[in-house]
């Protein structure tokens, strides 16, 4: 960025926490002061929420930056903290997971059930020769065995590497080989969009290319026919026949817990490494603080896939370490109908919901009648993660899902940060639609300019983290130099997140998207997020993606891909009228500099499996180039539709 981001969007709406929620909140305003007084003492106190087999000697060793060690000398077992200690405390009969399969089949697993299954899986993996420090790849649909497989690895000190069920042969085998995994845990398939979707054939091909794999453990989910080889073992014949007794050994606080590859919107995927003590401390604390979880009464539901970091931290480790009761859903939000999510909230009485802007905007597109048909009155805190949430999508979420009263926590974090870093606290923070507000207690985020100087309130620039935090990535697997170059070299002594951000006049933070996506129009840096939010603030628009395309006069020009709301007529002449109206609307909302050169009305946008818009591909379309790598796309046919529309000038 040659100059800091132009601050275009104004937002004056404010929402204070409901009084009753504020009074009973797990975390109150004094947490900020406590952490500011002594950050390390604050984190040591949060680590004390867990059970340690051996107390640490030092909270943080930062003598060799950027390589951090947290809770040095401490020992604990992650699975013990997520399961055994709840069972030992007499909560074995409490429901851990209400699982809902896409076809409508259900399973209820108590903490005791989950504990037994995890012990069995730990014994089975040990029998297959897996020992502490080995890597295990997990390629499963959203079934309870996914959580069990992760916890079983954690229990025996094996490092798991979860790969999205749905990634290609090359993506899977690349990840297996990068980590030299010894075992893959998979299933015959899962259900998606009303049909069985096979996984085993992809694993067979990937394993054929991956000599380090010795065994493949296969869960039977769909019952479809699968090819069978020498390395294959059925889960029900191996795990479910193993002993339910297993004693968890403690591991060093810095023992590797998992590797997770970043979504790969850019170059070669990076294997982000997380370790044991600090990671569990921060996922557990943030889940308790940001969702205000009351384990005895709340029903929590995070709609993410377990193959995304959100699934790791806020389906498995955070909630289970806190003894939560949660919902886990296998399938897609529109199977068998567009109200499926809201039926699930209604059925289980979900109180805390954590989802992504992409889903909220999709629900906006489908229409208000779907949430209106269900009883959502149980919901008391709503979360958002994955992308900036446009103010109008935030308002829609609050009104249609949160019955105009439930606080929204917009949580900014990354695979690399391991846990939530910037977010409102639901009982403390007065929120603004579209702002992630403040760093959590114990976290020091800032926005800096090109020179690494902190920008004043009202300024924009790069988001950085100034101090190490417990759940930070420890390195990129096998590539310390790339870890240093990617995150710690742009601004010496600071972690560079790769996101643009601004501070408003109150010092609250607004995330503006990846800096790679920022547009330079006639010498002004303009964020894609702000233009997209301006488009979404028009009543006819559900979703928008904006890119900068090379332009002979302005350097870059703004090209917008826009999805109209379900009820809007956008065919033929009506479409032309709408496009003109939208261009004028953006100019009026943000100023003439932000007026898009071109707006295309489209039915879908290209997204990663975790729902992030892939602007890189839209830039290829806008600049009439052939498409780059599309392997991480959720639905690869979307790009054909968009390119066809572009050529016909629609």
Binding residues for Mg(2+): 536, 538, 541
- Applying CB under 6 A, among 77, 81, 610, 632 the residue interacting with ligand 6R9 is 610
| Contact characters 251-270, ligand 6R9, x per CB under 6 A | -----------xx-------
Shortest spacing between CB 128 and ligand 6R9, in angstroms:
31
518 binds ligand 6R9 (CB under 6 A): no
Shorter beta-carbon distance to ligand 6R9: residue 75 or 504: 504
CA distance 67 to 49: 25
504 binds ligand 6R9 (CB under 6 A): no
Cα 361 to chain centroid distance, Å, stands at 16
Shorter beta-carbon distance to ligand 6R9: residue 110 or 527: 527
Shorter beta-carbon distance to ligand 6R9: residue 189 or 388: 388
- E-strand ranges in 119-255 read 135-139, 159-162, 183-187, 189-192, 195-198, 215-219, 232-234, 251-252
Residues placed in the known binding site for ATP: 386-388, 410-415, 499, 514
Shortest spacing between CB 300 and ligand 6R9, in angstroms:
17
Helix (H) or strand (E) holding 565: none
- Applying CB under 6 A, among 99, 413, 462, 496 the residue interacting with ligand 6R9 is 413
Residues 392-411 that bind ligand 6R9 (CB under 6 A): 410-411
CA distance 620 to 561: 13
Shortest spacing between CB 98 and ligand 6R9, in angstroms:
24
Residues placed in the known binding site: 192-195, 310, 386-388, 410-415, 499, 514, 522, 536, 538, 541
Shorter beta-carbon distance to ligand 6R9: residue 81 or 263: 263
Residues placed in the known binding site for CoA: 192-195, 310, 522
- Contact, 287 vs 314, CB < 8 A? yes
Shortest spacing between CB 286 and ligand 6R9, in angstroms:
12
Shorter beta-carbon distance to ligand 6R9: residue 87 or 605: 605
Which one, of 169, 40, 32, lies nearest residue 470 by Cα?
A: 40
- Number of residues interacting with ligand 6R9: please give it, by CB under 6 A: 21
415 binds ligand 6R9 (CB under 6 A): yes
- Applying CB under 6 A, among 386, 391, 402, 433 the residue interacting with ligand 6R9 is 386
- Applying CB under 6 A, among 163, 273, 289, 309 the residue interacting with ligand 6R9 is 309
In whole angstroms, how far apart are CA 7 and each of 121, 123, 494, 544, 649?
53, 56, 24, 19, 32
Q: What contacts 237, CB < 8 A, 6 or more positions away?
A: none
Please, where are the H alpha helices in 230-308?
Answer: 235-238, 277-290
CA distance 435 to 422: 10
514 binds ligand 6R9 (CB under 6 A): yes
> What does the DSSP 8-state code read for residue 136?
E
- Applying CB under 6 A, among 310, 326, 362, 431 the residue interacting with ligand 6R9 is 310
Residues 156-195 that bind ligand 6R9 (CB under 6 A): none
In angstroms and rounded to an integer, the radius of gyration of the C-alpha atoms of the chain is 24
Residues 3-32 that bind ligand 6R9 (CB under 6 A): none
381: number of Cβ within 10 Å: 24
Shorter beta-carbon distance to ligand 6R9: residue 71 or 261: 261
Which one, of 496, 523, 501, lies nearest residue 511 by Cα?
A: 501
Shorter beta-carbon distance to ligand 6R9: residue 210 or 384: 384
What pairs with residue 496 in β-bridges? 464
Shorter beta-carbon distance to ligand 6R9: residue 119 or 359: 359
- Contact, 302 vs 319, CB < 8 A? yes
CA distance 385 to 350: 18
Shortest spacing between CB 513 and ligand 6R9, in angstroms:
6
Cα 208 to chain centroid distance, Å, stands at 31
Shorter beta-carbon distance to ligand 6R9: residue 498 or 591: 498
Percent of the chain as helix, strand, coil, to the nearest 5: 35, 25, 40
Which one, of 622, 619, 639, lies nearest residue 514 by Cα?
A: 619
387 binds ligand 6R9 (CB under 6 A): yes
At which residue do the structure tokens 């991480």 appear? 632
CA distance 156 to 50: 18
497 binds ligand 6R9 (CB under 6 A): yes
Shortest spacing between CB 265 and ligand 6R9, in angstroms:
9
511 binds ligand 6R9 (CB under 6 A): yes
Shorter beta-carbon distance to ligand 6R9: residue 235 or 308: 308
The residues that touch ligand 6R9, with contacts defined as CB under 6 A, are 262-263, 309-310, 385-388, 410-415, 436, 497-499, 511, 514, 610
């Amino acid at each position: 960025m040659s100059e800091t981001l132009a601050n275009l969007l104004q937002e004056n709406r404010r929402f204070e926490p409901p009084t009753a929620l504020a009074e009973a909140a797990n975390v109150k305003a004094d947490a900020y002061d406590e952490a500011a007084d002594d950050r390390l003492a604050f984190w040591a106190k949060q680590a004390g929420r867990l059970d340690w087999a051996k107390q640490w000697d030092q909270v943080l060793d930062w003598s060799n930056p950027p390589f951090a060690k947290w809770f040095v000398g401490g020992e604990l077992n992650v699975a013990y903290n997520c399961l055994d200690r709840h069972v030992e405390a007499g909560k074995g009969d409490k429901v851990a997971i209400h699982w809902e399969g896409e076809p409508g089949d259900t399973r209820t697993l108590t903490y005791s059930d989950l504990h037994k299954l995890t012990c069995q899986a730990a014994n089975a993996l040990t029998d297959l020769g897996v020992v502490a420090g080995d890597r295990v790849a997990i390629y499963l649909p959203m079934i309870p065995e996914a959580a069990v497989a992760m916890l079983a690895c954690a229990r025996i000190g094996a490092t798991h590497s979860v790969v999205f069920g749905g990634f290609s042969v090359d993506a899977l085998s690349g990840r297996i080989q990068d980590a030299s995994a010894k075992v893959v845990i998979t299933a015959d398939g899962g259900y998606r969009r009303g049909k069985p979707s096979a996984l085993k054939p992809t694993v067979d091909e990937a394993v054929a290319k991956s000599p380090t794999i010795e065994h493949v453990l296969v869960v039977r989910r769909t019952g479809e026919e699968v090819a069978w080889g020498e390395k294959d073992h059925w889960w029900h014949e191996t795990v479910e026949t193993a002993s339910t007794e297993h004693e968890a050994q403690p591991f060093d606080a810095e023992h590797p817990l998992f590797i997770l590859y970043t979504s790969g919107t850019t170059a070669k995927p990076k294997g982000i490494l997380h370790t044991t003590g600090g990671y569990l401390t921060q996922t557990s604390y943030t889940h308790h603080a940001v969702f205000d979880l009351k384990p005895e009464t709340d029903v929590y539901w995070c709609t993410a896939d377990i193959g995304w970091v959100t699934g790791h931290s806020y389906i498995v480790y955070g909630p289970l370490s806190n003894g939560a009761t949660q919902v886990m859903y296998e399938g897609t939000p529109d199977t068998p109908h567009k109200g499926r999510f809201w039926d699930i909230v209604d059925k289980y009485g979900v109180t805390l919901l954590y989802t992504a802007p992409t889903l909220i905007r999709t629900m906006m597109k489908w229409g208000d009648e779907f949430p209106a048909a269900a009883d959502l009155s149980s919901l008391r805190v709503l979360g958002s993660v994955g992308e900036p949430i446009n103010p109008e999508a935030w308002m829609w979420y609050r009104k249609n899902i949160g019955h105009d009263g439930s606080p929204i926590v917009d949580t900014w974090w990354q695979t690399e940060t391991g846990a939530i870093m910037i977010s409102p606290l639901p009982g403390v923070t007065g929120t603004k639609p579209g702002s992630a507000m403040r760093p959590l207690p114990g976290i020091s985020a800032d926005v800096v300019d090109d020179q690494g100087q902190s920008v004043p309130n009202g300024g924009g620039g790069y988001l950085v983290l100034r101090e190490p935090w417990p759940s930070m990535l420890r390195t990129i697997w096998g590539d310390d130099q790339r870890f240093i170059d990617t995150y710690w070299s742009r601004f010496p002594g600071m972690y560079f997140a790769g996101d643009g951000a601004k501070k408003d006049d109150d010092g609250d933070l607004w995330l503006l998207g990846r800096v790679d996506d920022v547009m330079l129009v006639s010498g002004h840096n303009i964020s894609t997020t702000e233009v997209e939010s301006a488009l979404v603030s028009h009543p006819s628009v559900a979703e928008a993606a904006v890119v900068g395309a090379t332009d002979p006069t302005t350097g870059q020009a703004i090209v917008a891909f826009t999805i109209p709301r379900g009820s809007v007529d956008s065919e033929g002449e009506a479409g032309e009228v709408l496009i003109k109206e939208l261009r004028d609307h953006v100019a009026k909302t943000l100023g003439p500099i932000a007026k898009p050169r071109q707006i295309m009305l489209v039915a879908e946008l290209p997204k990663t499996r975790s729902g992030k818009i892939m602007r890189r591909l839209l830039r290829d379309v806008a600049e009439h180039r052939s498409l780059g790598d599309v392997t991480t796309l959720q639905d690869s046919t979307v790009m054909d539709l968009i390119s066809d529309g572009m050529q016909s000038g629609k």
